[in-house]
C-alpha cells in the first residue's frame, strides 16, 4: 500500500480536513479520502519528456546544475506541464536547459519506470543551427559524437538506454520506435526489458 501511495497526503486540498486511507466503494486500490467533503485524492504516474537533438552526427548533452545527479550528463528532459503536448514539452525542456531549438521532432522511445511511477517519452530531432548554451539548470552543454559520450557520467539509466538505442539504430541506418521497461529492483540493480 505504501508504494501505491507515493506522495504522502495528510490534509484534503479542497476543505483542509484530515484524510484517511481506504479502498473507495467500487474501487480496488487504497486512496487518500476526505470523509468531510468526500474528495478522493488520486495519485497517478508522471510523464517526463525529452529529446536526442543531433547536429552533424553529434548529440546535445547537458551537465546538470541541480540535484539529483548534480554534475552528471543528461539529455534535455523534464516533467511535462499541463496544457501542452509531449512534443511541445520536449521542445520547452530543450529551450530551458540548453537555450536550443529543435526541428523535425519525431517520437523515438517510450520507457516505463514503474518503481518511481514515471513514463518517459523521448523524441529525436535536429538541433537548429547547431546552437546551444547552458540554461539555468545546466552547468554546461556540449555536442558529443558516439565515441565521446561520457557513458560512466550519465545521470540516469533511461538516458543511457536512449543513447544506446539511438547509436545502434544509426549504425544500421534505420530508426525504429522503441518501448521498454527500466526497473530498479529491491537489490538496487537496474533491469531493462524491451518489447
> Which residues of the chain form contacts with its own copies (CB under 8 A)?
3-6, 8-16, 18-19, 26, 28-29, 41-47, 79-88, 96, 105-107, 110, 112, 114-115, 117, 119, 121, 136, 177, 179, 181, 195
How far apart, in whole angstroms, are the C-alpha atoms of residue 146 and residue 163? 9
Element of type H or E holding 119: strand 118-127
If the CB atoms of residues 42 and 150 are measured against its own copies, the closer one turns out to be: 42
Phi, psi of 115 (to 5 degrees): -70, -20
In the complex, least distance from residue 102 CB atom to its own copies, rounded to whole angstroms: 13
What is the closest distance, in whole angstroms, from the C-beta atom of residue 128 to its own copies in the complex?
A: 18
Given the complex with its own copies, which of 3 and 147 has the nearer CB atom?
3
Decide whether 82 or 152 has the Cβ nearer to its own copies: 82
Bridge partners, 36 (sequence order): none
Give burial (CB, 10 Å; 0-12/13-18/19+) of 183: middle
What is the closest distance, in whole angstroms, from the C-beta atom of residue 195 to its own copies in the complex?
7
Q: Are 58 and 23 in contact (CB under 8 A)?
A: no
Amino acid at each position: 500500500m505504501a508504494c501505491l501511495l507515493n506522495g504522502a497526503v495528510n490534509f484534503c486540498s479542497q476543505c483542509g480536513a484530515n484524510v484517511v486511507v481506504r479502498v473507495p466503494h467500487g474501487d480496488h486500490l487504497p486512496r487518500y479520502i476526505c470523509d468531510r467533503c468526500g474528495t478522493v485524492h488520486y495519485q497517478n504516474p508522471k510523464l517526463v519528456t525529452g529529446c536526442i537533438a543531433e547536429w552533424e552526427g553529434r548529440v546535445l548533452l547537458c551537465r546538470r546544475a541541480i540535484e539529483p545527479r548534480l554534475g552528471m550528463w543528461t539529455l534535455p528532459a523534464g516533467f511535462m506541464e499541463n496544457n501542452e503536448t509531449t512534443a511541445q514539452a520536449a521542445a520547452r525542456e530543450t529551450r530551458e536547459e540548453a537555450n536550443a531549438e529543435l526541428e523535425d521532432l519525431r517520437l523515438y522511445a517510450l520507457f516505463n519506470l514503474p518503481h518511481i511511477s514515471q513514463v518517459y517519452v523521448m523524441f529525436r530531432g535536429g538541433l537548429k543551427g547547431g546552437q546551444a548554451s547552458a540554461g539555468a539548470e545546466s552547468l554546461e552543454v556540449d555536442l558529443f559524437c558516439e565515441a565521446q559520450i561520457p557513458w560512466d557520467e550519465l545521470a540516469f539509466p533511461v538516458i543511457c538506454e536512449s543513447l544506446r538505442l539511438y547509436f545502434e539504430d544509426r549504425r544500421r541506418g534505420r530508426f525504429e520506435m522503441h518501448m521498454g521497461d527500466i526497473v530498479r529492483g529491491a537489490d538496487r540493480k537496474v533491469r531493462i526489458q524491451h518489447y
